[in-house]
């Protein structure tokens, strides 16, 4: 909770921070706080942002609609081998922040990671109101993503409820080769 308050305070005083590099001309897109037990990302931009989590051959993502946040809790050991990448579509072009090793980000002791995903992608680590440029690793995203971010946002909206999937159970048929008769029962409402 303290980190969230610090991140909020940093957001409010961001223009007054001392930077080791010129402040960005383009606005920041995503702010990330990664501690040993909690991950929080907030989308400051006006377009959806894609948080992509890679771990070996596995990959999952969360879409951040404009002005929303994503948070998750975990144990510190779960960060080992996990890489974060932030992407968006800017004028129809997939822009990526490149990759950030989450265990290194957690162990760095940074108060926050600030990411800008535009033609000139950049990121900064914040340490006690001082910004330091951060060099990201290579992008792990494929060249194309099969769904647009606008469609993904509509699929992940809070009102999206899981659908009911009928489960086939065995019947009393002695040979056991045929599926059971489900009958003409209506499916429950969604």
Question: How confident is the model at residue 172, as a pLDDT?
Answer: 59
Question: How confident is the model at residue 14, as a pLDDT?
Answer: 46
Per the domain annotation, does 182 fall within a domain?
A: no
**Count of structural domains within the chain:** 1
3-class state of residue 85 by DSSP: strand
| Residues of the chain scoring pLDDT < 50 | 1-20, 23-24, 153-162
Total count of residues recorded for the chain: 190
Per the domain annotation, does 17 fall within a domain?
A: yes
Measure CA of the first residue to CA of the last residue in the chain; give whole Å.
36
Question: How confident is the model at residue 39, as a pLDDT?
Answer: 94
pTM for this predicted structure:
0.63
Question: How confident is the model at residue 150, as a pLDDT?
Answer: 54
The residue among 159, 149, 158 whose CA lies nearest residue 46 is 149
DSSP 154: H
Asked whether 33 and 4 are in contact (CB, 8 A), the reply is: yes
Per the domain annotation, does 8 fall within a domain?
A: yes
The residue among 81, 92, 96, 108 whose CA lies nearest residue 138 is 96
3-class state of residue 92 by DSSP: coil
**Token pair 């606008």: residue:** 150
Per the domain annotation, does 89 fall within a domain?
A: yes
Question: How confident is the model at residue 110, as a pLDDT?
Answer: 92
Spatial separation of the C-alpha atoms in residues 173 and 103, rounded to whole Å: 54
Question: How confident is the model at residue 18, as a pLDDT?
Answer: 45
Spatial separation of the C-alpha atoms in residues 14 and 112, rounded to whole Å: 12
Per the domain annotation, does 190 fall within a domain?
A: no
Domain extent at residue 77 = 2-155
CA-based Rg of the chain, rounded to a whole angstrom?
21
pLDDT tens digits, one per residue of 139-176: 887 655 555 555 554 444 444 444 555 555 555 555 55
Question: How confident is the model at residue 73, as a pLDDT?
Answer: 93
The residue among 15, 34, 47 whose CA lies nearest residue 116 is 47
Per the domain annotation, does 180 fall within a domain?
A: no
The residue among 19, 16, 51, 14 whose CA lies nearest residue 32 is 51
């Amino acid at each position: 909770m303290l980190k969230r308050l610090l991140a909020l305070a940093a957001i409010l005083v961001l223009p007054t921070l001392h930077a080791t590099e010129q402040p960005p001309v383009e606005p920041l897109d995503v702010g990330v706080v990664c501690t040993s037990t909690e991950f929080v990302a907030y989308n400051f931009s006006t377009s959806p942002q894609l948080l992509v989590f890679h771990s070996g051959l596995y990959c999952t993502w969360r879409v951040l609609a404009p002005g929303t946040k994503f948070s998750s809790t975990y144990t510190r050991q779960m960060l080992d081998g996990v890489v974060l990448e932030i992407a968006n579509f800017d004028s129809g072009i997939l822009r990526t922040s490149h990759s950030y090793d989450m265990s290194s980000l957690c162990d760095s002791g940074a108060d926050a990671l600030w990411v800008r995903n535009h033609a000139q992608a950049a990121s900064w680590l914040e340490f006690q109101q001082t910004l330091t440029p951060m060099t990201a690793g290579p992008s792990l995203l494929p060249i194309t993503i099969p769904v647009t971010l606008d469609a993904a946002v509509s699929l992940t909206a809070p009102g999206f409820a899981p659908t009911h999937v009928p489960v086939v159970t065995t019947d009393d048929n002695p040979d056991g080769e045929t599926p059971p008769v489900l009958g003409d029962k209506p499916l429950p409402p969604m």
